[in-house]
Amino acid sequence: MSRNEGPLTGVTVLDLSMTFPGSLAAMYLGDLGATVTKIENPKLGDPGRKMGSPLLATDENVEADSALYYMSNRNKTSLTVNIKRKEGQEIIRNLLSTTDILIETFGRGTLEKTGLDYESLKDNFPELIFCHISTFGAKGPYSQKTGHDGNCMAYSGLLNLNCSKNGTPQIPGFQLADIGGGTYVALISILAALFHKERNRAGQFLDVALLDGALSFQTLPLGLFRGENKASRGKTVLSGLLPNYQVYKCKDDQFLIFAPLEKPFLKNFLSTIKKTEWMDVILNEPEQGKRLLSDLFASKSRDEWSVLFEQKLCCTSPVNSLEEALSDPHLQDRDMIITMHDETVGEVTMIGSPFHFSNTPCSYRIFPPKKGEHTNQLLLGRGFTKEQIDQWRAKKVI
């Protein structure tokens, strides 16, 4: 177990997230040193526990949770509470008396029924930072809609930019709106609100919408659109127009990306392959430039090209698989690939924290918890008696 020296040491978080963006945001706050308590339904638990294939545990008699669950729940303790019950609501309010940040992803109107929404809590907990993460936000014509990452990609116009050669929009195989538009926007909002709280002793409501965050990725395309007064699907400087910002197929059917947008980097590349006469063609005749480069890259394997350009500043990189990325020496050196161990589950590979500090490093202290693993410990620590806990468990409050 790592020692906690993170910049958020002493900050307390209540994680009521039911979806990935909030769960990941809470985990990163934990990596940064915050004390995170995960609140789960006593019967159902976190839906993420059953999403996808289960992790292959070391102990074959152990039924592990979904492998996806382990990717966003380290550095948390787990407390099971039925927030629909009056006693459960009292437990949450007790926890809130020492909580800095609450993160939730419930649908509109759900928490209002329990009296645990921001409007119901703000007078009794004026310094609480209440972060609500949803697909479309707490206000606006779409606020009652449901949706996922792909819906935000579609509404924001991003899906229209990400097309196959025949012009059909392609859904990315990763969660751009969930993480880029949800998790990271939530983190920035929370940290800004925490700074405000430290200066003014006041909390506030944070309305994080995945769609808003997704639209922010249109900043450069909007500049291009305003400059040209048109939006070309699959034909912008970042989506297929230029020969020097393009994916090329190699001799071994592997791929690399060639991205020397700036002339000095393109010159380095052409000097390395001894084809400096191609400069004008690549810059001024894009289709001819693509043909020249396609033939060139098809003449060697991806790894041969990688070795040739490894020490050259020409923005040429292999297109790695996930397995290759996990074994990349640079990412490993930067502690972006970590493992955590549990006696029953075994060793689990995870993506490390992308936040690096010289004096207050992130740490990985708690293995993703089993459902309700810390319920007794946490409630006893809050001053509740064993008799109360036993009664609540019998009544399915916890």
CA proximity to 101, closest of 39, 164, 170, 158: 39
Does some domain include residue 207?
yes
Q: 26-49 pLDDT, tens per residue?
A: 999 999 999 999 999 999 999 999
Domain identity same for 203 and 339: yes
Domain identity same for 41 and 181: yes
Measure Cα distances from 67 to 146, 253, 308 in Å: 25, 30, 38
Which residues does residue 102 pair with via DSSP β-bridges, in sequence order?
A: 14, 130
Domain identity same for 270 and 388: no
Indicate the DSSP class of residue 113.
Answer: G
pLDDT at 61: 62
Q: 146-193 pLDDT, tens per residue?
A: 999 999 999 999 998 888 777 889 899 999 999 999 999 999 999 999
Domain count, the chain: 2
Domain identity same for 76 and 130: yes
Q: 344-362 pLDDT, tens per residue?
A: 888 999 999 999 999 999 9
Q: Is 256 helix (H, G, I), strand (E, B) or coil?
A: strand
Domain identity same for 175 and 81: yes
> Residue 129: how many CA atoms within 13 Å on its side-chain side?
24
Domain identity same for 278 and 361: no
User: Domain containing 263: what range?
Assistant: 255-318
Share the mean pLDDT of the chain.
94
Does some domain include residue 250?
no
